[in-house]
Structure 1
Amino acid sequence: MADNIITVTVVTPYGIQYSHRAHMVSVKSIDGDLGIMANHEPIVAPLKISEIRVKRTDNTTHVDAIAVNGGFIEFQDNVATIVADGAERARDIDLSKAEQEKSEAEQKLHKAESQHNIDEQRRAEVALKKAMNRINVSKHL
């Protein structure tokens, strides 16, 4: 049984945000979706602003959802290390705050578009993606 177990760790500049043993981790890389299980060949891949799903070993029906703000995943020797600027488990997301951030990002985006300010538009688009990701992940409790 131990042969099909991996360790999944999510690290941000604030330290380890998540660490568990798992049967599988699913991520969205910039090149497509990845499902990584034990004995997968080593890989390093950049990640999108997206949800990570971890199928834990302690309960076969339990899957943790984690919102990440991009980053990358490295998998080697049955250890998946995800490094991201920010990461939050679904249970830790403040939904009302995420919805407020979404509203603010939408307002900034409309303003930047009307002023043809490409730099501000890109920043607002990223902020909107982060807020929408947090909202979507928070619903996976």
Structure 2
Amino acid sequence: MAQMTVQIVTPDGIRYDHHAAFVLVRTTEGELGIYPGHVELIAVLAIDEIKVRRIDDENHVDWIAVNGGIIEISKDLITIVSDSAERDRDIDVSRAERAKLRAERELEEAQHAQNIDMERRAAIALQRAINRIRVGQK
């Protein structure tokens, strides 16, 4: 079976390193499905989930929440560099829900104060929290 190596790197080091038969990511341009032998490319990732179908079992899927980043595909090595990455099993959903509520309050306050910078930061924090909740509930 053809396979690829998937590595996810954050400032804390390598957060994920496994062999995969298929990877699905969302770039800023749209979804990208990757099989072994994919054309080489570099793309900007959106704040979203990454789906990795592992080679050890066709039903084994890892879900990873990333806060954007860069993906590089070179031969059969996929390298993802992101500020943070969390596997579904490692996400504290209740903590993510509290972060979501906090971001919603901050977004509302920023909109009321008409503070564009604060509004942008709160919107990103909200998007990250929602992504973590979605992946954590898989």
**Bucket of the pairwise TM-score, normalised by the shorter protein:** over 0.9
| CA–CA separation in structure 2 for the residues paired with 1:25 and 1:10 | 12
Deviation digits for residues 48-75 of structure 1 (CA, Å, limit 9, x no counterpart): 0000000000110011000000001000
1:135 matched to 2:130: no
Report what 2:51 is aligned to.
53
Counterparts of 2:127 and 2:87, CA distance in 1: 17
CA distance in 2, matches of 1:45, 1:31: 9
How far, CA to CA, are the matches of 2:82 and 2:53 in structure 1? 20
- Please list, as runs of the form range in 1=range in 2, the aligned pairs for 1:60-139 lying within 5 A after superposition: 60-139=58-137
Once superposed, which parts of structure 1, at least 4 consecutive aligned residues long, lie more than 3 Å away?
A: none
Structure 2 CA distance, aligned partners of 1:13 and 1:31? 25
Counterparts of 2:79 and 2:137, CA distance in 1? 24
The offset of 1:77, in angstroms, is 1.3
Q: Secondary structure at the match of 2:123?
A: helix
Aligned mate of 1:19, from 11, 17, 20: 17
**3-state SS of 1:136 partner:** helix
CA distance in 2, matches of 1:42, 1:97: 37
CA RMSD of aligned residues (A): 0.5
TM-score for the superposition, normalised by structure 2: 0.99
Unmatched runs of 5 consecutive residues or more in structure 2: none
Q: 1:139 offset after TM fit, Å?
A: 1.3
5+ long unaligned stretches in structure 1: none
Report the Cα offset of residue 14 of structure 1: 0.3
In 2: Cα distance, 1:135 partner to 1:12 partner: 20
- Identical amino acids, percent of aligned pairs: 50
What is the CA distance between 1:36 and its match in structure 2?
0.6
Give the residue type in structure 1 aligned to 2:62: D
